[in-house]
Structure 1
Amino acid sequence: MSSQLLWSSSRLCAAISTALACASPFAANADAIAADATTLERIEVAASPNPLDASAAAGTRLNLSVQETPASITVIDRQTMDERGVRNTQEALFGIPGLAVASPPGNGNAVTWRGFSGAQIAQLFNGIGVQYDAIAARPVDGWIYERVEAIGGPSSFLHGAGAVGGSINYVTRLAQLDRDDTQALATVGSFGSGMVAAGTNQRIGGDDAHDAIRADATWSHSDGWADRNKREATTLALSWLDRIGDDLSHTLALEYQDEDSERPYWGTPAYRDGDTLRIVDGTRTRNYNVADGHYGQQVLWARSLLEWQPSARTQVRNTLYHYDALRDYRDVESYRLTADHQGVIRSAALLQRHDQQLFGDRIEWSHEGTLATLPTQWSAGADVSYNRQTRFPLSLPGVVDTVPIDSVIPGSFFDVPGAEQVYRPDRTNCLHTQALFVENLTHLNSRLSLLTGLRHDWIDLDVVNHRAVSATNPVRFQHDYAPTTGRIALDYAWTPRASVYAQVATSADPPAGILTTANFATLRDFDLSTGRQEEIGTKFQSVDGRHYATLAAYHIVRENLAITDPANPGQTLPVGQQSSRGVELAFGVKPLQALSIDGNLAWVDATLDDFYESVGGVPVSRAGNRPTNTPSRVANLWLDYLFAPQWSAGLDLRALSSRYADTANTTRTAGYGVLGAHLRWQLDPSTSLTVRGRNLADRDVVIYALNTDMVYLGEPRSWELELKKAF
């Protein structure tokens, strides 16, 4: 089946690449028409850069653009985030084809991509993984980030264990020596929301400066669309660039995040209508968490970046980094309806603390030269890190109480029997990682290039149990892993702006769970699971950069994941298999000088090929079923029209198909489409005022199924007024 998919898709890719190349005359005609439109020349709005010209840092350590890299890569830059009104890192991810994302508090950034989710999607910060991605990547205010990058499919050869479905990288703004600038942003909106943000880059010494300092800060507040769910957050980023010499520079970067959420919204109880989950009328904004529910996090990043360029073709980079995070939960987290739908049964009271520290150093060498007379690029390096996390859970899993469905302030956490404000450690996971990696790009001729990559990791996991010792929870558990992963890809450039490619990539990730939280029962003596992807694709951009398109078709198989032992439901075996195949399209069209259209479409067929789960102590096969919360279709569209010299208007649409709430595939959530719009007034070249509406149809949107009794809803209709100023 995979070979048929790849063969059919290769023909489709070649056809589309040829058809798009034929569009260049149309682009030239459009330029000629636009040249006569002298009125539009007065518009003081910068054109968006073509995303295929962006650096492909998410998909390679070589000096390549997205166009030149034979992989499915997406870059959402700062300008694009501003134009789309991106408030946080989660909303930036809508620009990635096929990706679905939600942020329930217990799974801070639940990403599903190419049929995989959880630990199978790596989420990195400036290229650094913390091995706790779904929680550590909780959405934060997006002002401090320069761009968000992503590569679809296995990418362990770049970032280490994990990432069978893809990798996402959040890149922070850093000090630069090319300019002085200052920006400020203020917003006010529905549900008592507001934000104030500012950023400045200043050179010390003017045009001949050898030093620059950048500072970015954000403060945001919201009363929340769910009852009494107040949130306040502060985000800071500071960096100092020192050009020590002509060939040596150093950057010191610090980041701090502080978030407090009172009475976090954990979800809404739901009932089955046929096979579809629905909510009771009047409960849309109800919050069934206890009155003193709380979530808080404090995160500190510190990085030392040293760059040495001994020659025009050679560069050495060293990154020394430290990450420190503390997260606290105090909530009642699960709700289900009574039989008459007049009450809500609450359970799963939890008080928990996560204390995590990461220390590491990475050194990279890159060189451009020749290999047997063929132009070539090399990148090689080593990565060493120490990751330690201790969790302190006080879990009270039984039923807490039953409250009326119209409850306003349903009790206190400390009313629950056994609840107390104490932090007793459960276990400490220590992860020592050492890695060597190498990449090479060789141009076999003027059009054909070969890209290869290889990485080998030595991973030592040491788990110390602080609780009662048992056969499934020993006092200490140790395991070593040594995965080798890689990529090989061919790229054929019909022209410098139209190409087709094919690649094979592999990955390695835990058979279940996450290494920084795993216990003996989860891992036992199992090795890491393995993943393999075959992908073909095509990329095109017009000569003038006004039109672009990318198309990718892929097939991924993940093997050796942990499943329930069919002969012994109390045990697990690392023999399961999951697979997916799909097609992703991203495009940008500018048919008129004043009109731009961007979007993406994706289809995926994801399957649990060999999977058993225990149901009431009985192993049940789920082979052939679709994984939970995995839509088969995802689409996004953005339209922006400059209808007057200082005025523009835009529409945005996001649509997802239905998703299953259980691996049995008996219960689903409805698909949805959400429409937004904005109107922008460009007062002068440096000042804009924008009014923006989200979910204009005010639809009840289920963005995540927590289980078959409870769903996580999206934001109702909301409005926002934004003032942006550059100095």
Structure 2
Amino acid sequence: MTLTAQAQSAPTDQQKQAVTLDQIQVSAQRLPLQSPASGGTRLDASLLQTPASVMVIDRQLLDARSVRTTQEALYAVPGLVVASPPGHGNTISYRGFSGSQISQLFNGIDVQYAAIAARPVDAWMYERVEAIGGPSTFLYGAGAMGGSINYVTRLARLDRDSLDGMASVASDDTVVVAAGINKRLGGGQRGGQQGDARNALRADISYSSSDGWADNNDRESLTTALSLASALSDNLTHTLAVEYQHEDSARPYWGTPALLSDSGKLQVLPGTETDNYNVGDGYYKQDVTWLRSLLEWRASERSTVRNTAYYYDALRDYRNVESYRFNSELSAVIRSDALLQRHDQQLFGNKLEWSYQGQIAGRSSQSNLGLDLSYNRQTRFPLSLPDDFDEVPIGAVTPGSFFDVPGAAQVFNPQRTNRVHTQALFAENLTELGQQWSLMSALRHDWISLNLENHQTASARNPARYQHDYSTATGRIAINRMLAPGWAMYLQYATAADPPAGVLSTASFSSVQDFDLTRGRQFELGSKWQSADGRAWLTLALYDISRENLAISDPDNPGQTLPVGKQSSWGAEAAFAWQPLSQLSLQGNLAWVDASLDEFYSGNVSYAGNQPANTPDTVANLWLDYQWQPRWSAGLDLRSVASRYADNANTLTSAGYTVWGANLRFTPQPGTELALRLRNLGDKTYVAYALNANMVYLGEPRTLELSWRQSF
């Protein structure tokens, strides 16, 4: 949500100053709480009208904060913590839940493998990022216990032409170059004005390369997107979109061996902060292709039909030694867990929706009905060598080869193919009950069929085939009350369902054989306020979430699962913006959560009442910007994360951290910006994610970036 300006008609010379002042005032009144609540509802409703915690991080905010990746975009979401170890992808903790309990979608499509598929990519190709807190299965399907994240890509537009680009150089020989163009085709000139375009083409490309802050972790990334929008008639439009992502990371940084203090705190041995203990020929690669067909038919003034057909193809390869621990003398690092892995995934789907605006019992009402079909197929090819491999000296510069590991070979033998068929019917409604009251409701029913095909030797614990069907209904009902213009309060109840063991697209027989879908529910009370002049806004939310019948992987018995029982959380979130002066703006968020494993057993040990691992109690973000001259501005940013337990037994902890950033921006002319940005100003060493009792994944050290942005 940002305080950005809306485009207005061109003023006369005499009116320019007055109209400019009017633009600022009107824009502040409209945004952000009167902007569309994309990601939180399929209905035509503003953030103020939507009784839920919804954040929309738009393109302007992404550019203003020099967001580099989809991971950095998520800092704007209250209470959300994210880290991206190579084997975990974009791992999120949100409202006390984490991993697959948070749905991560692309243009509203769930690839059912967010643990890896949502790993951070360059942010250039994205128009916005949307987040909704708490259960939202009723919107996007099974999952979404703690919340949903939706990454929305740029598409061709028929209303304007544009050309923009950026280039940056940064620490560790990091280079980013990106450009995008939107060009309308056809329409011609009518009376000196551009006529209505019948077609528009958009193309985006982004390339980045870096030596990485960890030793010899070289990375290259290429993202491209092409879309063609066509007005087939006055009421029918079609958009064809193709996207491609390629990432090649040599010798990925997998983590840093950790020491355990007497108080149970995980620490890093001084001098090892940037050491990389992966093998010299370790790598991670991914190639991802999206193809979407978007058809919209405006059947009448009140009725619209939309259809989205899509295809997704992903191939990911790993070859690494992934675990490191110190020997007893702290003179060397013991390496283990060599893994060669390939993920081959395809997803086909179609979503048909019908939206209607009318009346119910004389009250203004709008509805959305739909049918969602998908087929997900994934085959995994693992070669796992879990034993200790060798010892290397601390600070070793000769890391050895993956093929030095006994039994290692460049072979891809299929282990298992998972086929997941999903069918769903969904409905959503918003009805005005009066001038101050409105009721929003949603209902979705999913039918899910899982088919496992074992490509290895069959046994009683690992049969040749296994098939299971799941069925679940989830929903939301919420009431919204306008207390005054620009001030609303709401009360919401929502439910969710989550696959056993989290991800059906990679689940093994042992992880699903004894478990059904888990169930969850949330109560949320919130308020949203925006000042009359638009210079300030505030959102508050109190929530209580409970999830039952969980199944998780047993850390002591790989391939086995545990019936956890129950997990819950309750907490508070706030997001705000304030512009006390025309040159000064302040934005931020603050969140607190009390998360608990209410019924949790590991072996014969109960962890009831413990806090889930890597879940901080408090998270805060702050951005301060000051424009002291028309062309010059500067800013500070802060991110603070409380300490976290590193294990579910709550015997290990990782320290909290606060990191600062600063930026200086110069605008020599409209549409041109030069920026100097420092991240982690104090060069703080901090744990972004605790992997286990022996390893931590560190956050990025201090970096300096110089960037240029241009738009026409």
* Residue identity in the other structure for 1:659: R
Check if 1:470 corresponds to 2:451.
no
- Say whether the 8 Å CA contact 1:222–1:230 is kept in structure 2: yes
Q: Which moved more, 1:129-138 or 1:463-472?
A: 463-472
Q: Secondary structure at the match of 2:532?
A: coil
Q: Percent identity?
A: 62
1:588 corresponds to: 577
Check if 1:606 corresponds to 2:587.
no
What is the correspondence of 1:94-243 to structure 2 with a 5 Å cutoff?
A: 94-205=75-186, 206-243=194-231
1:25 corresponds to: none
- Say whether the 8 Å CA contact 1:48–1:80 is kept in structure 2: no
1:680 corresponds to: 665
Check if 1:560 corresponds to 2:549.
yes
The Cα of 1:699 is off from its aligned counterpart by: 0.5
The Cα of 1:396 is off from its aligned counterpart by: 0.3
Hey, what's the Cα distance between the residues in 1 that align with 2:660 and 2:297? 48
The Cα of 1:715 is off from its aligned counterpart by: 0.8
The Cα of 1:470 is off from its aligned counterpart by: 1.9
Q: Secondary structure at the match of 1:414?
A: helix
Among candidates 475, 483, 493, match of residue 486 of structure 1: 475
The Cα of 1:340 is off from its aligned counterpart by: 1.8
Q: Secondary structure at the match of 1:468?
A: coil
Displacement over 6 Å in runs of 4+: 35-43, 46-49, 568-571
The Cα of 1:40 is off from its aligned counterpart by: 11
1:417 corresponds to: 406
Q: Which has the higher contact order (CA 8 A, sep 6+)?
A: 1
- Say whether the 8 Å CA contact 2:646–2:652 is kept in structure 1: yes
What is the correspondence of 1:335-354 to structure 2 with a 5 Å cutoff?
A: 335-354=324-343
Q: Decide whether aligned partners of structure 1 residues 563 and 261 sit closer, same or farther in structure 2, where only a CA change above 3 A counts.
A: closer
* Residue identity in the other structure for 1:56: A
Hey, what's the Cα distance between the residues in 1 that align with 2:564 and 2:634? 53
Check if 1:360 corresponds to 2:341.
no
The Cα of 1:468 is off from its aligned counterpart by: 1.8
Among candidates 306, 316, 324, match of residue 295 of structure 2: 306
In the TM superposition, what whole-angstrom CA distance separates every residue of 1:212-232 from its partner, at most 9, and x where no partner exists?
A: 011110000000000000000
Check if 1:68 corresponds to 2:49.
yes
In the TM superposition, what whole-angstrom CA distance separates every residue of 1:522-551 from its partner, at most 9, and x where no partner exists?
A: 011421000000000000111232211100
The Cα of 1:50 is off from its aligned counterpart by: 2.7
Hey, what's the Cα distance between the residues in 1 that align with 2:273 and 2:130? 34
In the TM superposition, what whole-angstrom CA distance separates every residue of 1:357-398 from its partner, at most 9, and x where no partner exists?
A: 000000000011000111101000000000000000000000
2:616 corresponds to: 631
Q: Secondary structure at the match of 1:135?
A: helix
Q: Secondary structure at the match of 1:129?
A: coil
The Cα of 1:620 is off from its aligned counterpart by: 1.0
Among candidates 365, 368, 391, match of residue 379 of structure 1: 368
The Cα of 1:36 is off from its aligned counterpart by: 12
Q: Which moved more, 1:205-214 or 1:438-447?
A: 205-214
Hey, what's the Cα distance between the residues in 2 that align with 1:255 and 1:572? 37
Q: Decide whether aligned partners of structure 1 residues 363 and 106 sit closer, same or farther in structure 2, where only a CA change above 3 A counts.
A: same
Hey, what's the Cα distance between the residues in 2 that align with 1:330 and 1:441? 50
Instruction: Give the number of aligned pairs.
Output: 685
- Say whether the 8 Å CA contact 1:72–1:552 is kept in structure 2: yes
1:21 corresponds to: none
Hey, what's the Cα distance between the residues in 2 that align with 1:702 and 1:629? 10
Please give the root-mean-square deviation of Cα atoms over the aligned residues, in Å. 2.1
2:682 corresponds to: 697
The Cα of 1:207 is off from its aligned counterpart by: 3.3
1:59 corresponds to: 40
* Residue identity in the other structure for 2:547: R
Hey, what's the Cα distance between the residues in 1 that align with 2:681 and 2:586? 20
Check if 1:720 corresponds to 2:709.
no
- Say whether the 8 Å CA contact 2:511–2:560 is kept in structure 1: no
Q: Secondary structure at the match of 1:353?
A: strand
- Say whether the 8 Å CA contact 2:508–2:559 is kept in structure 1: no
In the TM superposition, what whole-angstrom CA distance separates every residue of 1:657-678 from its partner, at most 9, and x where no partner exists?
A: 0011111101100000010000
In the TM superposition, what whole-angstrom CA distance separates every residue of 1:247-266 from its partner, at most 9, and x where no partner exists?
A: 10000011000000000000
Unpaired runs of 5+ in structure 1? 1-34
- Say whether the 8 Å CA contact 1:210–1:242 is kept in structure 2: yes
Q: Decide whether aligned partners of structure 1 residues 571 and 704 sit closer, same or farther in structure 2, where only a CA change above 3 A counts.
A: closer
- Say whether the 8 Å CA contact 1:511–1:574 is kept in structure 2: no
The Cα of 1:341 is off from its aligned counterpart by: 1.4
Hey, what's the Cα distance between the residues in 2 that align with 1:692 and 1:42? 30
Hey, what's the Cα distance between the residues in 2 that align with 1:504 and 1:40? 42
* Residue identity in the other structure for 1:716: P
Q: Secondary structure at the match of 2:550?
A: strand
Hey, what's the Cα distance between the residues in 2 that align with 1:595 and 1:583? 27
Hey, what's the Cα distance between the residues in 1 that align with 2:633 and 2:29? 14
The Cα of 1:57 is off from its aligned counterpart by: 2.1
* Residue identity in the other structure for 1:203: R
1:246 corresponds to: 234
- Say whether the 8 Å CA contact 1:513–1:522 is kept in structure 2: no
Hey, what's the Cα distance between the residues in 2 that align with 1:306 and 1:544? 39
Check if 1:264 corresponds to 2:264.
no
- Say whether the 8 Å CA contact 1:378–1:440 is kept in structure 2: yes
Q: Decide whether aligned partners of structure 1 residues 147 and 39 sit closer, same or farther in structure 2, where only a CA change above 3 A counts.
A: closer
- Say whether the 8 Å CA contact 1:48–1:79 is kept in structure 2: no
The Cα of 1:489 is off from its aligned counterpart by: 0.2
The Cα of 1:110 is off from its aligned counterpart by: 0.4
2:636 corresponds to: 651
Hey, what's the Cα distance between the residues in 1 that align with 2:28 and 2:579? 11
* Residue identity in the other structure for 1:623: A
Q: Secondary structure at the match of 2:249?
A: strand
What is the correspondence of 1:267-306 to structure 2 with a 5 Å cutoff?
A: 267-273=255-261, 274-306=263-295
Q: Which moved more, 1:204-213 or 1:380-389?
A: 204-213
- Say whether the 8 Å CA contact 1:50–1:546 is kept in structure 2: no
Q: Secondary structure at the match of 1:191?
A: coil
Among candidates 305, 308, 311, match of residue 316 of structure 1: 305
- Say whether the 8 Å CA contact 1:40–1:645 is kept in structure 2: no
Q: Decide whether aligned partners of structure 1 residues 148 and 357 sit closer, same or farther in structure 2, where only a CA change above 3 A counts.
A: same
Q: Secondary structure at the match of 1:716?
A: coil
Among candidates 389, 393, 397, match of residue 386 of structure 2: 397
- Say whether the 8 Å CA contact 1:333–1:349 is kept in structure 2: yes
Hey, what's the Cα distance between the residues in 2 that align with 1:244 and 1:182? 25
Q: Secondary structure at the match of 2:515?
A: coil
Hey, what's the Cα distance between the residues in 2 that align with 1:290 and 1:37? 64
Hey, what's the Cα distance between the residues in 2 that align with 1:464 and 1:656? 43
Hey, what's the Cα distance between the residues in 1 that align with 2:178 and 2:479? 44
Hey, what's the Cα distance between the residues in 1 that align with 2:638 and 2:513? 45
- Say whether the 8 Å CA contact 1:564–1:612 is kept in structure 2: no
2:605 corresponds to: 620
The Cα of 1:319 is off from its aligned counterpart by: 0.1
Hey, what's the Cα distance between the residues in 1 that align with 2:142 and 2:85? 25
- Say whether the 8 Å CA contact 1:512–1:522 is kept in structure 2: yes
Report the TM-score, using the length of structure 2 for normalisation.
0.94
Q: Secondary structure at the match of 2:413?
A: coil
Report the TM-score, using the length of structure 1 for normalisation.
0.92
In the TM superposition, what whole-angstrom CA distance separates every residue of 1:473-529 from its partner, at most 9, and x where no partner exists?
A: 111111100010000000001123100000000000023231000011101142100
Hey, what's the Cα distance between the residues in 2 that align with 1:533 and 1:77? 27
* Residue identity in the other structure for 1:263: R
Unpaired runs of 5+ in structure 2? 1-15, 187-193
Q: Secondary structure at the match of 1:105?
A: coil
1:436 corresponds to: 425
Q: Decide whether aligned partners of structure 1 residues 463 and 101 sit closer, same or farther in structure 2, where only a CA change above 3 A counts.
A: same
Hey, what's the Cα distance between the residues in 2 that align with 1:284 and 1:39? 51
2:3 corresponds to: none
Hey, what's the Cα distance between the residues in 1 that align with 2:453 and 2:66? 45
